[in-house]
Structure 1
Amino acid sequence: MSIYVGNLSYDVTQEDLNGVFAEYGSVKRVQLPTDRETGRVRGFAFVEMGAEAEETAAIEALDGAEWMGRDLKVNKAKPREDRGSFGGGGNRGNNSFSRRY
């Protein structure tokens, strides 16, 4: 399981996040997505901690905390939803529809 960290400053680095979360336990991984076109940080991150108790402590301490001029949004990350492919309608594979003439 990982932690979602939202409302981050666009100046934040992986090292910054690692330092803050390390106060609550061992940080296994920090993922800081960037915009494909600009390379700029997107304002959120995912952090994986060594144990669930460490994740819980970090969430309780940091959710709503002010950091780098922003109020953080910190909670358990939700599983990524399958968004499907681009284009088309929602009836993929089901071409049985009725027409009215």
Structure 2
Amino acid sequence: MNIYVGNLAYGVTEDDLREAFGTYGEISSVSVITDKFTGQSKGFGFVEMPNNGEADAAIKGLNEAPLKGRNMKVNQARPRTDRPMRGGGSGGGRRF
């Protein structure tokens, strides 16, 4: 199961998440999302756990739990197709 972890302190590392979630079971992958220009954390990440029972326990146990001074928001990640589309597009509204 892919788990969304939000409201992270900017100092939280992938190792911090691995340690917190590892107490609930096996972890396949961990990623903290960073700004591509500055490299600074965007304050959220994802943890992949192969066992759904362990993942559910982690979600229940860690949602609103403090990590480095902030309470994490933990829930099952939505598939990319379920997210609303962002504005933008090509052309920038220019007319030729």
Report the TM-score when normalising by structure 1.
Answer: 0.80
Rg (Cα) greater in structure:
1
Q: Match of 1:65?
A: 65
Question: Structure 1 or 2: larger helix share?
Answer: 2
Q: Distance in 1 between matches of 2:6 and 2:57?
A: 17
Q: Match of 1:87?
A: 90
Q: Match of 1:44?
A: 44
Q: Report the Cα offset of residue 67 of structure 1.
A: 1.6
Deviates more, 1:74-83 or 1:31-40: 74-83
| Percent of residue pairs bearing the same amino acid type | 47
Q: Report the Cα offset of residue 50 of structure 1.
A: 2.4
Matched, 1:74 2:63: no
Q: Deviations over 1:43-70 (max 9, x none)?
A: 0010001200010000000001122110
Report the TM-score when normalising by structure 2.
Answer: 0.84
Question: Structure 1 or 2: larger strand share?
Answer: 2
Q: Match of 2:53?
A: 53
Q: Deviations over 1:70-89 (max 9, x none)?
A: 01100000011374872369
The alignment yields a C-alpha RMSD, in angstroms, of: 1.9
Q: Distance in 1 between matches of 2:34 and 2:43?
A: 8
* Unaligned runs of at least 5 residues, structure 2: none
Number of aligned residue pairs: give it: 89
Q: Distance in 2 between matches of 1:28 and 1:42?
A: 22
Paired AA for residue 90 in structure 2: G
Paired AA for residue 21 in structure 2: F
* Unaligned runs of at least 5 residues, structure 1: 90-101
Q: Match of 2:15?
A: 15
